[in-house]
Structure formats: C-alpha cells, structure tokens
Amino acid sequence: MIEPIKWKDNKIVFIDQTQLPAKLKYVRCWDIDVLCEAIKKLRIRGAPLIGVAVGLGYALAGINSKEKTFRGLKKDLDRASLKLRATRPTAVNLFWVLDRMEDKFKTLSRFKINAIKKAISREALDILEEDKKMCAAIGKNGAKLIKKGDVILTHCNAGILATAGQGTALSIIYEAKKQGKRFKVYADETRPLMQGSRLTMWELMQNHIDATLICDDMAASTIKNKGVTKIIVGADRIARNGDAANKIGTYGLAVLAKHHGIPFYIAAPSSTIDKDIRSGRDIPIEERDRDELIYTGSKQTAPVNSKVYNPAFDVTPHSLISSIITEKGIYEIKRFRGI
Ligand code: MRU
C-alpha cells in the first residue's frame, strides 16, 4: 500500500498530493517551515494525515534544535507547535496530536536531551502506527453495512492519501472488496481543489475498485438515476452532538440522501471527535484563498475581481446523519453522545 507520509533517517518524506494524479512525487523534508507550507497548500491533506504530519513535524523540530537544556528545547518546540497550529483550523486531529506531543514532552524533563528527542520521535511514530490500526478497524466495522450490489457515493478523499493507513470512508470500501462483496462507487470530483477526481479516483483505480467519476452537480441525478444506495464520507471534526464538518459539498449530499431515503454515513477515527465542542456551530471553518475559485488550475475561469466566498468545509447537522462509524463501532446517531 502506498504511504503518503514516512519518517526516514530523522526526516519526513511525503507525497506532494498537489501533483497527483499526473505525478507521484515524494518530497524529503527536514524543515518545519517547508512542512507548514505543505500543509497549508494541501500537499499533505486529510484530517488524520495532517495529524500524523504535525506529530512528525514536532519531532523534527526537536531533532533540529541545537539547544542543550530542557528549557531551551521547550522554547524551540513551542515555537514549532505554534507554527504548526496556524496551518489549518478545521481538522481537530492537528490540535489533538500537538496537545499529545506537548503532554509527552512535559513528562521528559529528567532525561538527557538526546533521550528526550528519541522519546518524542517515538511518540510521533506511535501516532502514525495507531492511525493505521484505526483505519483498519473503521474498515472492518463499516464493511458490515455494505451489501452485495450497493452503489456508494463518496466525496472528497477520505482514503489512503488522507491517512497513514487505508483511509476512513474508503477503508470500508477496501475491506468490503477484500470480503468479496461486489458494489460500485461514484466519486464526486469535489470542487474547487478536486480531491475526488485527482485523489479518490486515482487511489480507487490503483486498488481495482469499480469507480466512476462524476462532477459535484451530477450528484442528485446520479443518486436518482444510478440507484445510489448509500453515501459514505469522512470528517474533519465531529461535535459532541454528532454534527460533522467535512469538505464543502458534504452537507448538500446529506440533504440529498434524506430526500432520496438513503443512509448517510460519516466514517472517522475517534480522534476526529472534539469533546470540547457541543455542536457544529462551534467548529471553526477554514476560508481559503479567492484564487482557488478564480482559476481552475492555471486557467482563469472567473473575472479576476469577482467577489468570492470560499469555505473549505461545511457542517452536516446530526439530524441528517444515519450513523458515525469509528474504530470502536457503528454509532447510530440517536445513540451518539461524543462517545
Ligand atoms: O481540504 P482537505 O483535502 O484536507 O479536506 C479533506 C476532507 O474533507 C476529508 O474528507 C477529511 O479530512 C477526512 S479524511 C479521512
């Protein structure tokens, strides 16, 4: 299986996802500012993968520090953590991982500097390994919902490229295929940055899944005319009441699912649940650069001085979600209390 991020010789190696599907390009990164730029520009993206990346980034800042005392090292790590926290606001995994790395660091004050650096690298690698296990468990749990002949619609990319493992929503698809179930997948292209067409189609085809690309405004008629039986997507942050933020366009799909009487599932690791947030109203939604709507790739597709509204995520109210699938099980929304 392809690995979108790796830790090699105390450096981070990642796939530059902005180059896909044309080029599979790996970047070696030993600089925290390069990592921050990669996260902001979506070279590294997807909530769980962003979490793994910032954990490794924190470890990298430790390795790069020239400080010889615990206090000096703490200053360097705090500076790195602030930069990493400022990259993207919506995926809670980013903040959860940095909190965990900082908590780990605090327990290490009586150790020698080299031992501390090793221990924080170990913690970041543990997070990476745990993410792999969570993805596999989400797949196993969610595959129970897949029936022979299902037609599944997905949005954005919640697959191998968005995690350290086999994905969240797409992990269910890979597991169902492994179990010999036959089904079809429709992938939304996911405007404006095309994570569906560039990334989901690429990885589903690599893994021999029967997948068909549609553009976002074909979703309603595809559900109606092609007999879509369920919609499965990932999430960037889930509130205690089950409201879930995911890639812009997800909310519209949930409304369509309700209208057509088909289930709408969110698949995410429990690290995507923000226990500090009561409802979706409190989820910070990233607004991205206007140029993402003015240009499609390098081609200008709107007047340059158009007024632009470009939120990267929307919040699906829990009332439109059938169940949330995590590594711990399938939670019917009625029973979901931020588990
Ligand atoms: O802007 P992106 O590409 O980081 O957005 C990604 C998504 O919205 C995914 O659906 C979500 O992070 C879940 S990934 C397992």
Q: Which segments of the chain are extended strands (E)? A: 5-8, 11-15, 26-29, 151-154, 184-188, 211-214, 230-233, 237-238, 244-247, 264-267, 295-296, 299-300, 313-316, 323-326, 329-332
Residue 112's CATH number: 1.20.120.420
Residue 304's CATH number: 3.40.50.10470
Residue 119 sits in the same domain as residue 177: no
Whole domain around residue 284: which residue ranges? 141-335
User: How much distance in Å is there from the Cα of 166 to the middle of ligand 1?
Assistant: 14
The span from the CA of 235 to the CA of 212, in Å, is 22
- Residue 217 binned pLDDT confidence (cut-offs 50, 70, 90): very high
User: How much distance in Å is there from the Cα of 314 to the middle of ligand 1?
Assistant: 11
What is the number of the ligand 1 atom nearest to the C-alpha of 286?
1
What is the number of the ligand 1 atom nearest to the C-alpha of 233?
10
Neighbours of 182 (CB within 10 A): 12
Residue 163 sits in the same domain as residue 279: yes
Residue 309 sits in the same domain as residue 194: yes
Of 45, 92, 271, 283, the one to substitute when testing ligand 1's pocket (max ligand atoms within 8 A of C-beta) is 45
Is 236 annotated as catalytic?
yes
CA-proximal residue: ligand 1, atom 8 (nearest):
247
Q: Determine contact, residues 154/231, Cβ cutoff 8 Å.
A: yes
For the chain, state the CA radius of gyration: 20
At 248-282, the pLDDT tens digits run 999 999 999 999 999 999 999 999 999 999 999 99
Residue 183 sits in the same domain as residue 256: yes
Residue 90 sits in the same domain as residue 47: yes
Whose structure tokens read 């919506």? 90
- Residue 338 binned pLDDT confidence (cut-offs 50, 70, 90): low
Residue 339 has a pLDDT of 65
Count of structural domains within the chain? 2
At 15-29, the pLDDT tens digits run 999 999 999 999 999
Whose structure tokens read 């829990």? 318
Backbone angles phi, psi at 287, to 5 degrees: -110, 130
The span from the CA of 200 to the CA of 257, in Å, is 21
Residue 219 sits in the same domain as residue 107: no
Residue 149 sits in the same domain as residue 84: no
- Give the mean pLDDT of the chain: 97
Residue 130 sits in the same domain as residue 149: no
